[in-house]
């Protein structure tokens, strides 16, 4: 009997430590970014969501031989899921209290045949959308620099044409 009295408290301490470790692991580092975070300076999660959704709509409506080709013959549910993952990614990357649970940029874009020209057009759409939402040039540069850090994981060829094929 004495053995059981010691096992229960030790198991209880173990469970409490495990739960505490789990909770600490789930607290986003960005929660401590505060007012200085890019998220805050861009207007918060709602503003980032609005800009991101507008930006994605522009890309979806682009010419089918340019960026619009990626959304041809796609179901609305898949497009909506993709949009939410992109919003989550951008909010998380800018320091909002958001957890991105999607795949890596490399895994998400592998095989799409994104060229340097595709990338440049995407950045043009992003800047244009931020300008429409009256994002200052300084903040636009920060966002483009942040997005640019993913370029090597996304662009598959340096071609001066749309697509790598």
Q: CA distances (Å), 49 to each of 13, 20, 43, 107, in order?
A: 41, 31, 10, 23
Rounded to 10 deg, the angle between the 137-148 and 116-132 helix axes is 150
Mean pLDDT of 90-109: 95
Q: pTM of the full predicted structure?
A: 0.77
**What is residue 157's DSSP assignment?**
B
List pLDDT tens digits, range 7-58: 434 333 333 333 333 333 333 443 444 679 999 999 999 999 999 999 999 9
């Amino acid at each position: 009997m004495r053995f059981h009295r010691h096992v229960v408290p030790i198991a209880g301490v173990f469970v409490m430590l495990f739960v505490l470790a789990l909770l600490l692991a789930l607290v986003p580092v960005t929660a401590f970014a505060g007012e200085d975070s890019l998220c805050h300076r861009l207007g918060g999660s709602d503003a980032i969501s609005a800009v991101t959704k507008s930006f994605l709509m522009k890309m979806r409506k682009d010419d089918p031989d340019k960026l619009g080709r990626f959304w041809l013959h796609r179901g609305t549910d898949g497009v909506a899921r993709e949009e939410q993952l992109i919003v989550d990614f951008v909010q998380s990357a800018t320091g909002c209290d958001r957890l991105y649970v999607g795949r890596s940029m490399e895994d998400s874009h592998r095989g799409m045949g994104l060229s340097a020209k595709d990338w440049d057009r995407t950045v043009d759409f992003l800047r244009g959308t931020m300008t429409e939402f009256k994002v200052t040039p300084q903040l636009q540069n920060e966002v483009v620099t942040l997005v640019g850090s993913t370029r090597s994981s996304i662009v598959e060829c340096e071609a001066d044409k749309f697509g790598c094929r």
